[in-house]
Structure 1
Amino acid sequence: MAKIAISCRSTRRPGSELGRIASVNRKTLLGAALVALMAGSGPALAKITEAEAARLGQDLTPLGAEKAGNADGSIPAWDGGLTGMLPGVVPGISRPDPFPNEKPLFTIRAANVETYKDRLTPGQIALLKRYGDTFYMNVYPTHRTAALPPEVYQRIKEQATKVELEDGGYGLSNLGLSTVPFPIPKTGQEAIWNHLVRYRGQAFDRRVIQAVVKRDGGFTPMIYHDLLTFRSGTPETPDNADIVLKIVQKILQPQQLSGTTLLGIDRLNPVRQPRQAWMYNAGARRVMRAPEIGYDNPGIGSDGARTNDNYEMFNGGLDRYDWKLLGKREVYIPYNANRLDARGIPYTDILKPNHLNPELLRYELHRVWVVEATLKEGMRHLYARRTYYLDEDSWSIVGGEHYDGRGELWRVSEAHLLQYTEATVPFYCVETLYDLLGDRYIAFGMNNNEPYEIKFDWRADDDFYTPSNLRRIAD
């Protein structure tokens, strides 16, 4: 019988310096002059007013971001983003860098981190200081490339005054086909819901690599075949009225896990209707319910290097945490990561000891919403506190910090975002989660050497995402 090798092992050492860095920078964040609203996690403020909705597409972008640039011009005004098929793009085959001749404006290293700390996250500062001999951040000119199809913008505006939080903010009502329910968020829950239901196309098909990289740089790649259909691509039937997404994830390699296949369905109120999940065990040739696929249970094949709710930076129910919207910051974040996504780069050139190869990474200055999650009293989770940074132009979480029960900064996450112009979709090409206490990390999403890149023309009938079909998919 094939067994799924999962564990919660982590190598922990005293982390007083990391804890000090996190504490100092948290105070810096909270004490900074935050741009926009300051809101707690108290009573939910549902809907926005007609006057607020009228700002969408005017001084705000259709997703609610500030259309104007920043005071010193280092963040330009949003001009519609990167749309239309670029020269050299072959869907599913190649996606060249739209800015191939640009050079870094400057490089941030451990030696000069104090100069730039006001535009860095606590997690980035911790990475720079811990891996100062090898990790650095090349900062490039900022391009606000995020764009969605016009019909998606229209739905967002039409629904903005109707969508409401329900059940204490853990569910949504009146969403329709909108993909940004709260373009002008007033609570942390509203901001996180924007991430959970953001536009990622109607559906996609991809083959990607996951790797847990050890301290010496060694890794064993796992190959996944992902098939996802989102709310925007789900047939409008009563059975689908509350669907957020449906996913089938099949493991192709390594051999001992080959054929193991997951089916998951997420809904708009995961407390009232928790995630439905089934697993096909290739060794036993059986389909079984998999209620453990969620929250802080370890991800399949991750060797305990990530939790299930670390997938796509954060997913699933919000109910174990109190969520607080801290406001906005200008931060250097991974963006326009086409170089990292380039075809043919050996995975050994991407995955280096302790972190990704910094020469392949591109950081730009963007405005981000900052959300803090604190574990509720009586609730259980490996992470006692989490901080997330959401790109204002796409509502994608692009960075995060995860603290353990002692308050130490344990894991730092980054997502490398790019604009998939063939589908007018901003999405990740690689997600990373760095274990600062164990000096290892997990990377997910690479497909540089797979037969094809992400395909956004994948479509499936309702009966595809069913337990009865899971065995046929796995075989």
Structure 2
Amino acid sequence: MSKKIKAVSFVATMGLFASAVYAEQESQIQRLGADLTPLGAVKSGSEDGRIPDWTGGLPVDAAPVNNGFMSNPFPDDEPLFTITASNYQEYEENLSEGQVAMLENYPDTYKIPVYESRRTAAVPDDIAEAAKNSVRYVKTVNDGNGLSGFSKSRYYARPFPEKGVDVIWNHMTRYRGGSLSRVMAQVSPYANGDYALVLFDDIFAYPETVEGATEEHMESVLFFYKQEVLKPARLSGGVLLAHETIDQVKEPRRVWIYNSGQRRVRRAPQVAYDGPGQAADGQRVADNLDIYNGSPDKYNWELKGKKEVYIPYNSYDLASPELNYSDIFKAGHINQSHTRYELHRVWVVEATLKDGERHVYAKRTFYVDEDTWQIALQDMYDGKGELWRIAEGHIIQYYDNKVPSYAGETLYDLLNGRYLAMGFSNEQDSGPQFGLKSELRDFSPSALRQSGR
């Protein structure tokens, strides 16, 4: 009788717990689109008014669009003020350690032009619904290294983050237009400003947009990615293919490389963590792409909370086809005259390397925009605890497709005076093209040899 009473009591307790969890989930879902944005950011602005209310983001017709290139919807905006090496102490509470280091290292040329803050982020209605499904179904598993129930959502895995790794998962599972194709430039200038242009043809697609993808792909693959080198001639024809698995501890990322000189396809397990970045001249590691990507298993992730920071935002001038690459890529850093920074709330996440793990970055601090879940800034530290590299993601809204993205990414090396810039398409025939039609066989290893030249 005592055992039966205990069993009944346990079942009742579990039932009450399940009801409480369900009630909390429904309460959170009701907040999305009410006092919170559809993706979980606080709708209301800051008390001092410097950060405005979110009122729906940019409409799809915010400004003219020419073959994927966005016109600046704020052409008359002028900087409110400019942060320089001589005055940054006045604004230091709203700067990252990396920004301060750049101001100190390049006192004559690096500056932060600050504009009126405009909350332009918006996503399609079905993606907003996906965020609600994430609340209902998606959980982190395997010590935060994987996701369960993700096939029922596919986007914004953790709209109500409880841990630092939840915020990083939102960055990695954010909406990027479903599928896209782009030709983009990458450079790694020397300290004197000289550089050789590397040109990539990128194709990115989620399983739900790929004809022939199975339920197994939906359960285990986050996205498919193919990158072909177009320039320079010595690298031309090389192709990288990746199937980005969701839990890379359970099932490592599947990567293949086609070498046009050898005319062979081979597996490339080194394209992960701190393995060398493709055609980057040693200026980035594999998980620096997209500011951060890949498995989070090497780090302990601490959620430090929210902070107001001047971050790169609404970088339409930087993405303008009216600029040549030579206008942008300068010695030490990109031409800051073409950048735009705004005060926004960000989630601050600190990652420290786990005992027994190896990575060139012993600590990393991420500043993640609350409206888009995109990493705007990242500070990276070496094994001695010294600040080594600084990443900036210049956020832009592709308003005609309702896709938050980047105009370009930069990764500055404080030790050698060089940097890497990638994702720029200014001199190309078009900007990113969304709605790509693809088939599963397009992302098979056998297709690499056919696409390589």
C-alpha RMSD over aligned residues: 1.5
Q: Is the 8 A contact 1:91 1:422 kept in 2?
A: no
Q: Distance in 2 between matches of 1:259 and 1:128?
A: 39
Read off the aligned partner of 2:180 and give its amino acid letter: F
1:211 matched to 2:187? The reply is: yes
Secondary structure at the counterpart of residue 205 of structure 2: strand
Identify the residue that residue 58 of structure 2 maps to in structure 1.
Answer: 82
TM-score (norm 2): 0.93
Which of 157, 167, 172 is the aligned partner of 1:191? 167
Q: CA deviation at 1:380?
A: 0.6
Residue 108 in 1 paired to residue 86 in 2? Answer: no
Determine the structure 2 residue equivalent to 1:345. Answer: 323
Match of 1:125 in 2: 100
1:54-102 deviation line (CA, Å, top 9, x unaligned):
211111111110000001000000001012133421243x321010011
Counterpart CA distance in 1 for 2:411 and 2:200 is 18
Contact 1:109 1:137 in 2 (8 A): yes
Query: 1:137 aligned to 2:137?
Result: no
Aligned-partner residue type, residue 179 of structure 1? Y
Aligned length: 430
- Deviations, residues 88-125 of structure 1 (Å, cap 9, x unaligned): 21243x32101001100000001101100011111101
Q: Are residues 353 and 48 of structure 1, via their aligned partners in 2, closer, same or farther at CA, if it must alter by over 3 Å?
A: farther
CA separation of 1:236/1:393 partners in 2, compared to 1, >3 Å: closer, same or farther?
A: farther
Q: Assess if the C-alpha contact under 8 Å between 1:199 and 1:232 holds in 2.
A: no
Q: Describe how 1:58-457 pairs up with structure 2 within 5 A.
A: 58-92=34-68, 94-175=69-150, 176-231=152-207, 233-234=209-210, 235=213, 237-457=215-435
Distance 1:78 1:232, change over 3 A: farther
Radius of gyration: which is bigger?
A: 2
Deviations 1:308-364 (A, max 9, x none): 000000000101111111000000000000000000311111011111101100000
Structure 2: 5+ residue runs without aligned partners?
1-20
Shift of 1:154: 1.1
Q: Distance in 1 between matches of 2:104 and 2:24?
A: 42
TM-score, reference length from structure 1: 0.88
Q: Distance in 1 between matches of 2:67 and 2:166?
A: 34
Deviations 1:153-208 (A, max 9, x none): 01211331221111111000101234111111010111110011100011000000
2:8 maps to which residue? none
Say if 1:458 and 1:379 are closer, same or farther in 2 by CA, change over 3 A: same
Q: State the Cα distance separating 1:232 from its structure 2 match.
A: 5.0
Deviation (angstroms), 1:280: 0.3
Matched to 1:141, the amino acid is E
Q: Tell me if the contact between 1:231 and 1:243 (Cα under 8 Å) persists in the aligned partners.
A: yes
CA distance in 2, matches of 1:255, 1:48: 57
Distance in 2 (CA, whole Å) between partners of 1:100 and 1:106 is 17
Q: Partner of 2:423: helix, strand, or coil?
A: strand
Other-structure match for 2:442: 464
Decide whether the 8 Å contact of 1:60 with 1:66 is kept in 2.
yes
Q: C-alpha displacement at 1:236, in angstroms?
A: 5.3
- Given that 1:388 and 1:397 are in contact with CA atoms closer than 8 Å, whether structure 2 keeps it comes out as yes
Pair 1:215–1:190, CA change in 2 (3 A) = same
CA spacing shift, 1:390–1:54, aligned 2, 3 Å: same
SS of structure 1 residue aligned to 2:128:
helix
Greater Cα offset, 426-435 or 151-160: 151-160
Residue of structure 2 in register with 1:29 after alignment: none
Q: CA 1:443 to 1:47, structure 2 compared with 1: closer, same or farther past 3 Å?
A: farther
The answer (yes or no) to whether the contact 1:46–1:163 under 8 Å persists in 2 is no
Where structure 1 has 5 or more consecutive residues not aligned to the other structure, the ranges are: 1-44
Match of 1:51 in 2: 27
Whole-angstrom distance in 2 between the partners of 1:361 and 1:418: 11
**How far apart, CA to CA, are the structure 1 residues paired with 2:24 and 2:272?**
31
Distance 1:236 1:151, change over 3 A: farther
Are the counterparts in 2 of residues 85 and 422 from structure 1 also a CA contact under 8 Å? yes
- Cα distance in 2 for partners of 1:262, 1:48 equals 43
Distance 1:68 1:174 in 2: 31
In 2, the alpha carbon distance for the partners of 1:83 and 1:91 equals 18
Amino acid at match of 1:55: R
